[in-house]
Structure 1
């Protein structure tokens, strides 16, 4: 079996984030739950975009954000996701390649445009996300190339992309390829609604041994385990997976692997500006630690530092070189 040549290959939504400030009244008037994420159809996306204030466009997508962070830490990464042949597709492609991530999935002339996430950022930094998946939900199975999957130490799957049927089948194909090559498979469950929609699928994959590494925040973990008790949820899920990583917002994060458990507090930050991408960048720091053979505690700290950087500014991609930042903070 050949040795892997890259660190992480990820499959996810190829999305451009459109961010604007909004107060609680605007959220209420438009039927949004502050801090939550909802899916929109094309008409809803247009109506909301027209109602938003002045906005800025920054490439996003959960798995793509994680790779941008990992690349900033010096990891070799590749992304698989679908964009359309339009302006936002060009923006996404340029941005991810500029951050050092290999992205070769061809753009397609589709009826649906490139995906976008309309993000309303509150004064306290909370982000309320409204996602139109567009072209992202048409990622075909033939975009999954065995040589690319086998070349990576870790295959990362984005839970958001489990919703549409076509990319779900593409990810199942990638899991089979990764397992055949002896690689690790990581799943970020992404959001509580993903679990509510696909809990049976996710649990079946865990029970089958398809997933080696699971990323979830505390609310997602409770939903997956079907309990309101955090420690019960940890015990339930950790028994099904080689490595469980759970973020807890201001309460830090934990990792459990076999009989070992480690925790880290949230990294101090002067001001939270925009929480978009916090979990994605935490995953980036942790995964880079993991593929480099770091222990649980050190990998968690790398994740916490990366997450703190991204919530200190607008957008879900790092604005400083994370490798230098982590070297400064961890010595």
Structure 2
């Protein structure tokens, strides 16, 4: 690669296991990547979002993650997903009119961290016996809220990984 003009001056080598990736390029310049995460690299988190419409697949993936000791983040923010599995979700919650606190309590029985984000209003979160209610910082005039939930989820998970308190994660 150096003979082709690739500059390696900023390359840093660290000791330890890494993944491997092969980039396949055809004659037209189209490319695809094939990664091998091998058994020496162990993930700590599995983030499941939006493309999870099949309850059997969700159960199987979560079971595998549990067997491997991997934390799972399951985002139910997609209204299409919730609509498609509304019946089973309502059975899980036992009551169509369950309050947010009841829903949070139920979720917390099945996971280490349970979070219910209420858009621009507030956030409820529970971990073990600790429950927090975090109000919005301030009311803001928004022109577009696309991605706000994604940013919240990313920020919350970042806080967990960094060891922040439940309230700080919210």
Bin of the TM-score, shorter chain as denominator length: 0.5 to 0.7
Question: For the residues of structure 1 that align with 2:95 and 2:110, how far apart are their CA atoms?
Answer: 11
Structure 1 residue aligned with 2:53 = 163
Which consecutive residues of structure 2, in runs of 5 or more, have no partner in the other structure?
A: 1-29
User: How has the CA–CA distance of structure 1 residues 182 and 225 changed in structure 2, closer, same or farther, with 3 Å as cutoff?
Assistant: farther
SS at match of 1:235: helix
Question: For the residues of structure 1 that align with 2:90 and 2:72, how far apart are their CA atoms?
Answer: 15
Structure with the larger helix share: 1
Question: For the residues of structure 2 that align with 1:179 and 1:105, how far apart are their CA atoms?
Answer: 28
User: How has the CA–CA distance of structure 1 residues 193 and 270 changed in structure 2, closer, same or farther, with 3 Å as cutoff?
Assistant: closer
Paired residues of 1:226 and 1:233 also in contact (CA < 8 A) = no
Question: For the residues of structure 1 that align with 2:109 and 2:63, how far apart are their CA atoms?
Answer: 22
SS at match of 2:44: strand
SS at match of 1:249: coil
SS at match of 1:285: helix
- Residue pairs, 1:246-325, within 5 angstroms: 246-268=116-138, 270-300=140-170
- With normalisation by structure 2, the TM-score equals 0.63
User: How has the CA–CA distance of structure 1 residues 280 and 197 changed in structure 2, closer, same or farther, with 3 Å as cutoff?
Assistant: same
Question: For the residues of structure 1 that align with 2:33 and 2:96, how far apart are their CA atoms?
Answer: 37
Moved over 6 A (4+): none
Structure 1 residue aligned with 2:84 = 197
Question: For the residues of structure 2 that align with 1:105 and 1:177, how far apart are their CA atoms?
Answer: 25
SS at match of 1:274: coil
Paired residues of 1:251 and 1:265 also in contact (CA < 8 A) = yes
SS at match of 2:85: helix
Q: CA deviation at 1:249?
A: 2.0
- Residue pairs, 1:11-160, within 5 angstroms: 147=38, 151-158=42-49, 160=50
User: How has the CA–CA distance of structure 1 residues 183 and 164 changed in structure 2, closer, same or farther, with 3 Å as cutoff?
Assistant: closer
Aligned-residue RMSD, C-alpha: 3.6
Q: Which has the higher contact order (CA 8 A, sep 6+)?
A: 1
Q: Mark the structure with the bigger radius of gyration.
A: 2
SS at match of 2:143: coil
Paired residues of 1:227 and 1:233 also in contact (CA < 8 A) = no
Structure 2 residue aligned with 1:226 = 96
Question: For the residues of structure 1 that align with 2:37 and 2:89, how far apart are their CA atoms?
Answer: 23
